[in-house]
Structures are given as C-alpha cells and as structure tokens.
Chains A and B, each alone.
Chain A
Amino acid sequence: MTNSFIEFRNVSFRYGKDQPWVLKNVSFTIDSNEWVAVIGHNGSGKSTIAKLINGLLFPQEGEIIVDGLTVNEHTIWDVRKSVGMVFQNPDNQFVGTTVRDDVAFGLENRGVPREDMLKRIDVSLGQVGMSDYLLHEPHRLSGGQKQRVAIAGVLAISPKVIILDEATAMLDPKGRLEIMQTVSHLRQAEQLALITITHDLNEITRASRVIVMNKGEVWLESNPRDVFSRKEDLLQIGLDTPFVATFADELSRQGIKLGKQPLNHEELMDELWTYHSKM
C-alpha cells in the first residue's frame, strides 16, 4: 500500500517521570528515498526524534516503525543496520585514533571483510573530500573537518536512511554545499531516505518535505514553498524564512505580486524578470 520507511504513531516521550513531555502525540511517516527536513526552535524535540528512530531512546507512548520493524530492545540492532546518524557534535562519536580507524570502526562492528572495508573507507572519505587525512588523528582536525569524517563513517555503512542532526552546522558555506550535494547524490544513487535536522534555512529548500516542530508537537508538515510562504507564523515560533523568501515577502508588501513563492535566487530572478517584462 505505502512504502513508508519510517512511521511515528502517536508518539509521546519524556526523559523522566518527573520531567515534562518533550514529544506530544507525534505522528508522521517518511518514505524510502524521500528527503525530509525537520526544523523547529531550540528544544522543540528534533534530536529526540532522531534518537528515537535508532533506538537510543524508547517512547513511553505510541509506536515507532523503521523498515517494517517496531523499534524496541529486541530490534535495535537490526534497526541500526539501516539507520546512519550523524550528530551535532562529532567529537562524541569518534573512537579511532586515526581517521581511517574511525571510519573502519562502524564497518568492523558490522563484520565487513577487510578488503571491502579498505575500499569503502577510501570511497567514503573521497566523497567528503578528506582522502588526504587518512592517518590524521580525528581529535586534532578542525571543526568542519571532523564533521566530514563523521559523515564518511556513516556513508561507509551503506545505510537505508541517513539522519543528519545539524551535521553541517560547523562547516563553511562551501563545505556545507558540498556535503549536501554529496548526500543528495547518494540519496538518488543508493535509493536512500534522508532526514536533515537543521537551522540552515537555505538547506531546507532542497528537501521534498518539511516537518516543522513546535514545543514537542508537529506544527506543520508541508513542502518548502508552502512553509516559506508563512513568514509571520514562522517568526511566531522562533523560525524565519531565507533571504529569497524574505525579499519576495517585502516586494509583495510593496505591491509587487510575484507569480509564485520563489525558493532560490534563480526563481526569484525569473519572477522579477517576468514582472519586469510585463510592465
């Protein structure tokens, strides 16, 4: 019927009995090969969702299904074979003493043969532009370089879904773009699902769908174009729109109605051109 790969069914979660609910009756689905961006104010529950998907946490209420399995103590090892996750701070995920060992760790854990392993390490480090750092110590890399190695570690496992929890936050703009292009390409080539948790407004425009969280609840589920046509509401919940949408919004305030909500510079320029030549 559906090919939903991840499903949250009425999930509620709190970190302890005497603590507040941080997720309240959350339901959504994510298809295989879909790119979903999750956004929301600090503390809205995004990272908690990520940790629930690969069974680092379990919900007190509701059910989470990943690749046909209900996530619980018995299934987590199978679930984690298909979920690759990169967190906000890669320092906490480094285990190896060299970049190569570090990428190897996840593979050894999964019993990948040595020959295959060396090849995969080379390929995945190449994909994130870190081939020259094979023998460097992960802890001595700069912030952005660390993020790339962490992403390589996940790519090497060939998961079915990659979750990037603000994994590009520390990269320079060029590095961000490269990583996004890499994962976007991989998604198509390997039929992956991609979940990007991010505060980078421009990064969201590339997703096919956006889940907007607010105070532990799903506030909106829609496409980027629709999300960014709601500037006022987004401001209310601590978010904003990217430059292009903000500019379009300002134009409309000043009486210039564009044909459609532009998502990027090209679209904005096209709309302006059309408007200009019509006058």
Chain B
Amino acid sequence: MDISFKNVTYTYQPNTPFEHRAIHDLSFTIKSGSFVAIVGHTGSGKSTLIQHLNGLLRPTEGQVKIGDYTLSADKKVKDIKELRSKVGVVFQYPEHQLFEETIAKDIAFGPENFGVGEEEVKKRVHETIHAVQLSEQLLDRSPFDLSGGQMRRVAIAGVLAMEPQVLVLDEPTAGLDPRGQQDIMNMFYQLHHQKGLTTILVTHSMEDALKYADHVIIMDHGTKYMEGKPTEVFQRKRELEKVQLDVPEIVQFLFGVEKQLGISIAYRGQTIAELATELVEELRSRNL
C-alpha cells in the first residue's frame, strides 16, 4: 500500500500544561512494496509517526494516507479494524503487546480478531512460532514467564500471524541476542520480498538500515531532516553528526583507512569480507 504524510503535525495533550508537539510539518511518501528505514535520535518522533500508520493516533494537522484510508483531524477512518488487519505493528516495548494467558492464544489473537478461521489460525501459530525460532513446547506457557528476548519474539509472531500487507517494526531487534538479531531481520527481509510487503523499520542500527532498506528517512526534532538512498545518506558524516547520528561503522572505518593509510575505497554496500579483500589487494599492490 502507498503511504503518504502531508504536512502532518501531532500534539500530545493539546490545550493542557503538558501539551507537547512531537511531530510537525512532516511530509514524505512511501511507495508500495518498498523497504524504508526511519532513523533519528531518541525523542525525534519516530514512534509517534508510526502510531499514525494503523490509526492509533490521528494527526492534529495535515493528512496521512495509507492505501485508500485517510487520517486527518476531522476525519475518522470508517473501518479502523480493517486498516489494522492490513497494517501489522511490532511496538517498541513488546511486553505491552502481550496479554493472553498462553503464548498460543497471544499469537492467535490478531488473526482470530480479524475473522480468520480456526484451522488457518492454528496453522499460522505453528508457522510463526518457528519463524521467530521459539520451541513449540512454549505454546502453552504464559508469555509473562519468558525472558525479554523471548517475549519480543512472541510479539513478532503475533504480528506475522495477521499476515499484514504493511509491516511496521519499531526497533524490532532490541533485546534479541546477536544471532537472533540477524536471523529475525533476514526473516523480515525474506517475507518482504516473498509477499510483496511494504516494510517500515525504525532502527538505531545504521548497519541494518544499510543492509535492508532501499530508502531511509532521517528524523530530527519531530520533522524530516534528510531522506534518500542509504548508501548515499550514510556517507554524509557531518550532516548526520549535527543530528546526533553516526555513520555506520563500516563507513566510519573506510574514512579512517583513507585518512591514516591513504587508501581510498568507495563504499558501495560491500560486505565485510568483500571489503577485507579490497583492502588486502590495495595493501599488497602498494608494496610490489
């Protein structure tokens, strides 16, 4: 589904002493089928932005469009439930998303709620628990008896079981162990391609943004600061530093190689192994 924000402002608790404008004058478009990363310092408005995507928040000013659904201050989405069945959100704090007495029921809740048949729900529960690499033995346990990383996996399974068209991930790998981080991101990436999803990933990992996204939006103080192709945006060290962001480690390293060894290697999205090979070749060729 195509997504667009047009001059969106969102103010928490307007007309109270706690009034707080979390995003303002925000505009961008996301093409159906693309994988977009949203990056920005803590408090820059990423989670607020995301809560508009399934209608949890409505803009105070401006307009949000998700496919055929329009959200604005004066217009409520008529069929919010339908929108929510199409936009799956993995929230920043997964424990808040869990509430059923068993893990199986928790994963089943979404699809059941959206009218998916019993057999199909069962099938999805089993498929998705595997996708997040948890043992089926856990299905009858309480989700609150899990470790932090295991809870996050259950929350992710619950969203996948809805089989949404738009997948919204708010720092989905926080709390996962290093292998889990890689495996789960790879799984999202595969799903994205297999099912032609529109995927929106909020992340602090420049590495992940670089690796998976075809477009990146940088947020600062509630509005868009930059956007573009990750390989290009992430070379703009000075501009990123201004908004408290670092370039990815791999890019940082290449800057160092250039400065200290006088070897310049352009970053085009190489893997660590490929870069090592290039560097080794450069080093050897200099000494012939």
A-B residue pairs in contact (CB < 8 Å), sample of 28: A41-B149, A41-B177, A42-B153, A46-B147, A47-B148, A88-B148, A88-B175, A89-B95, A142-B43, A143-B42, A143-B92, A144-B42, A145-B43, A166-B148, A170-B42, A173-B206, A173-B245, A174-B245, A175-B42, A199-B176, A235-B179, A238-B177, A239-B177, A250-B273, A251-B276, A254-B276, A254-B277, A279-B283
Q: A47-B148, A140-B12 are in contact. Are A89 and B93 (CB under 8 A)?
A: yes
Q: A201-B178, A254-B277 are in contact. Are A42 and B145 (CB under 8 A)?
A: no
Residues of chain B contacted by A243 (CB below 8 angstroms): 249-250, 253, 272
Q: Name A42-68 residues within 8 Å CB distance of B.
A: 42-44, 46-47
Q: Name A154-171 residues within 8 Å CB distance of B.
A: 166, 169-171
Q: Please give the distance in Å from A142's CB to the nearest CB on chain B.
A: 4
Q: A42-B153, A172-B204, A279-B287 are in contact. Are A166 and B244 (CB under 8 A)?
A: no
Q: Name B167-205 residues within 8 Å CB distance of A.
A: 171, 174-182, 204
Q: A15-B145, A143-B92, A166-B175 are in contact. Are A43 and B246 (CB under 8 A)?
A: no
- Per a CB cutoff under 8 Å, which of A145, A239, A255, A276 touches B179? A239
Size category of the B interface is 35 or more
Q: A143-B92, A171-B204, A265-B249 are in contact. List 10 more A-B contacts (CB 8 A).
A: A42-B153, A42-B180, A91-B93, A91-B96, A137-B18, A174-B245, A244-B249, A246-B272, A269-B261, A273-B261
| CB-nearest residue of chain B to A171 | B42
Residues of chain A contacted by B43 (CB below 8 angstroms): 141-142, 144-145
Q: A89-B93, A247-B253 are in contact. Are A42 and B174 (CB under 8 A)?
A: no
Cβ contact within 8 Å between B283 and A275: yes
- Per a CB cutoff under 8 Å, which of A143, A172, A275 touches B245? A172
Cβ contact within 8 Å between B47 and A143: yes
Cβ contact within 8 Å between B245 and A41: no
Cβ contact within 8 Å between A238 and B179: yes
Cβ contact within 8 Å between A265 and B273: no
Size category of the A interface is 35 or more
Cβ contact within 8 Å between B280 and A255: yes
B226 at the interface (CB under 8 A from A): no
B211 at the interface (CB under 8 A from A): no
The CA of A59 and the CA of B148, in the complex, are separated in Å by: 20
Which residues of B are in contact with A by a Cβ distance under 8 Å?
12, 18, 20, 40-43, 47, 92-93, 95-96, 145-150, 153, 171, 174-182, 204, 206, 244-246, 249-250, 252-253, 256-257, 260-261, 272-273, 275-277, 279-280, 283-284, 286-287
| CB-nearest residue of chain B to A40 | B177
Cβ contact within 8 Å between A43 and B250: no
- Per a CB cutoff under 8 Å, which of A145, A174, A250 touches B244? A174
The CA of A10 and the CA of B248, in the complex, are separated in Å by: 42
Which residues of A are in contact with B by a Cβ distance under 8 Å?
15, 40-44, 46-47, 88-89, 91-92, 136-137, 140-145, 166, 169-175, 199, 201, 235, 238-240, 243-244, 246-247, 250-251, 253-256, 265, 268-269, 272-273, 275-276, 279
| CB-nearest residue of chain A to B277 | A254
Q: Please give the distance in Å from B197's CB to the nearest CB on chain A.
A: 25
Cβ contact within 8 Å between B147 and A42: yes
The CA of A136 and the CA of B245, in the complex, are separated in Å by: 25
Cβ contact within 8 Å between A169 and B174: yes
Q: Please give the distance in Å from B47's CB to the nearest CB on chain A.
A: 7
Cβ contact within 8 Å between A42 and B171: no
- Per a CB cutoff under 8 Å, which of B175, B252, B273, B283 touches A276? B283
Q: A42-B176, A199-B177, A199-B178 are in contact. Are A172 and B272 (CB under 8 A)?
A: no
Residues of chain A contacted by B40 (CB below 8 angstroms): 172
Q: Please give the distance in Å from A94's CB to the nearest CB on chain B.
A: 12
The CA of A269 and the CA of B261, in the complex, are separated in Å by: 9
Cβ contact within 8 Å between A250 and B272: yes
Residues of chain B contacted by A91 (CB below 8 angstroms): 93, 96
Q: Please give the distance in Å from B155's CB to the nearest CB on chain A.
A: 12
